[in-house]
Amino acid sequence: MGKARGNGVWSWRCRWSVVSIAAIALVVYNAVANMWLLHPPSCPVHTTPPPTDPPTCEPCIDTVPNAALDDDPISRIDLRLGRWDGSRSYKLFDNAVVGDTYSEVSSNYHVCLATQSSIERLHELLRTAAHWTGPISVAVLVAGEELRLLRGFTTWLFRCQPEIYSRIALHVTIPAARPATHGTMPAWARDCETPPLPPEDAITWKVRHPYPQNHMRNLARKNCHTPYVFLVDVDIVPSKGMADALDKFLATTPKCPLCAYVVPTYELDQRVAKFPANKSEIVRLSKRKLAIPFHRKVFIYNQYASNFSRWEASGGNETSETHISHDVTNFELLYEPFYVAPDTVPAHDERFLGYGFTRNSQVYEMFLNGYQFKVLSPIFTVHWGLQARTNRPLWRERQNEKNRKHFETFKRELFARYRKDPLHLLRRPQQKKT
Ligand X SMILES: *[C@@H]1O[C@H](CO)[C@@H](O)[C@H](O)[C@H]1NC(C)=O
- Given the rule CB under 6 A, which residues bind ligand X? 277-278, 280-281, 304-305, 307, 309-310, 315-320, 329-330
> 121 vs 141, 152, 256, 268, 399, CA distance in Å?
10, 14, 35, 18, 20
CB of 43 to ligand X, least distance (A): 46
Task: Write the CA distances from 179 to 73, 119, 167, 198, integer angstroms.
Answer: 18, 15, 28, 20
Indicate the residue among 252 and 320 with the shorter CB distance to ligand X: 320
Nearest to ligand X of 30, 320 (CB atom): 320
d(CA 46, CA 380): 39
Instruction: Please say which residue, 208 or 288, places its beta carbon nearer to ligand X.
Output: 288
Burial of 28 (0-12, 13-18, 19+ CB in 10 A): exposed
Cβ-based nearer residue to ligand X, 326 or 406: 326
198: preceding bond cis by omega (within 30 degrees): no
In the complex, least distance from residue 279 CB atom to ligand X, rounded to whole angstroms: 8
DSSP string, 371-394: -EEEEEES--EEEES-----PPPH
For residue 275, count CB atoms less than 10 angstroms from its CB and return exposed for 0-12, middle for 13-18, buried for 19 or more: middle
Distance of CA 115 to the CA centre of its chain: 5
List phi, psi (to 5°) of 132.
-105, 115
> Nearer Cβ to ligand X, position 287 or 310?
310
Please provide residue 116's backbone torsions phi and psi, each rounded to the nearest 5 degrees.
Answer: -150, 155
Question: How would you class 49 by CB atoms within 10 Å of its CB: exposed for 0-12, middle for 13-18, buried for 19 or more?
Answer: exposed
Taking the least distance from each CB to ligand X, the nearer of 213 and 325 is: 325
Nearer to ligand X, 301 or 395 (CB): 301
Q: Quick one: 184 or 319, whose CB is closer to ligand X?
A: 319
CB of 280 to ligand X, least distance (A): 5
For the CB of residue 295, give the shortest distance to ligand X in the complex, in Å: 15
What does DSSP say about strands 339-342 and 136-141: parallel, antiparallel, or unpaired? unpaired
**Nearer residue to ligand X within complex by CB, 165 or 308:** 308
DSSP secondary structure of 108-171: H-SEEEEEEEEGGGGGGHHHHHHH--S-EEEEEE--TTHHHHHHHHHHHHHHH-HHHHHTEEEE
Q: Taking the complex as a whole, how short is the minimal distance between the CB of residue 326 and ligand X, in angstroms?
A: 7
Contact 126, 150 (CB under 8 A): no
Taking the complex as a whole, how short is the minimal distance between the CB of residue 239 and ligand X, in angstroms?
A: 11
Pick the closer one to ligand X by CB: 77 or 292.
292
Dihedral through CA 83, CA 204, CA 350, CA 151, nearest 10?
Answer: 30
Pick the closer one to ligand X by CB: 211 or 299: 299
Measured CA angle at 166 (ends 384, 181), to 5 deg? 80
Q: Residue 195: in which H helix or E strand, if any?
A: none
- Least distance (Å) between residue 109 CB and ligand X: 24
- Euclidean distance between CA atoms 88 and 86, whole angstroms: 6
In sequence order, what are the residues at sequence separation of 6 or more whose Cβ sits closer than 8 angstroms to the Cβ of residue 263? 230, 238, 242, 337, 338, 339, 340, 376, 379, 380, 381
